[in-house]
Amino acid sequence: MQVKDVMTADPIVVSADAPVREAAGLLRKHKVGGLPVMEGARLVGIITEGDILGLLEKPSGPGELWLPSPLEALVEIPLRLAASWAHTRKALSHIGDQPVRSVMSSPAVTIGEDEDMDAAAAILVERRIGRLPVVRDGKVVGIIARADIVRGLGESYGSKEEEA
């Protein structure tokens, strides 16, 4: 089975200059885990949920772990939790304004549509990634994710079972 047999054709893409909040909205709306990032008609990277989550800063100072005395616990724990939450909200706001190009993984690892599905699976496992943009003559024509490969394997198993 070839990549073109199991890929998602015409994938949702995002511009490299779009804000991260737009990419996050597209991920949510289309229920996908990653998007090819385009600069005009040229693929320049890929942005995934992991790339976005990797931007979240861990609070330091007020949110650091400490062991309070019983009296301090009554007052300081709620204050420290509130400070930590305020820091997280500020970080989330800042992340949303960044351009996708500052967050994306680049260059994107790609595969041709005529490659075997096994080759795509090997790349995904070797590189520890979840999806590959599929290209034809340098243009993005699809995307293949781990779930597509599993679905393709299930379809091939069903056809073998029907032959028996």
* pLDDT of 88: 52
* pLDDT of 163: 55
Query: In which residue are the tokens 């091939």 written?
Result: 156
DSSP secondary structure string, the chain?
Answer: -BHHHHSEES---EETTSBHHHHHHHHHHHT-SEEEEEETTEEEEEEEHHHHHTTPPPP-STTS-----HHHHHHHHHHHHHHHHHHHHHHHHHHHHSBGGGTSBSSPP-EETTSBHHHHHHHHHHHT-SEEEEEETTEEEEEEEHHHHHHHHHHHHHHHHHH-
* pLDDT of 66: 42
CA distances for 64 relative to 1, 60, 61, 77, 79, angstroms: 52, 6, 6, 11, 12
pLDDT tens figures, 122-154: 999 999 999 999 999 989 999 999 999 999 888
* pLDDT of 65: 43
Longest CA–CA separation in the chain, Å? 74
Which segments in the chain show pLDDT lower than 70?
57-94, 156-164
pTM of this prediction? 0.73
* pLDDT of 138: 86
Two tokens, residue 5: 């047999």
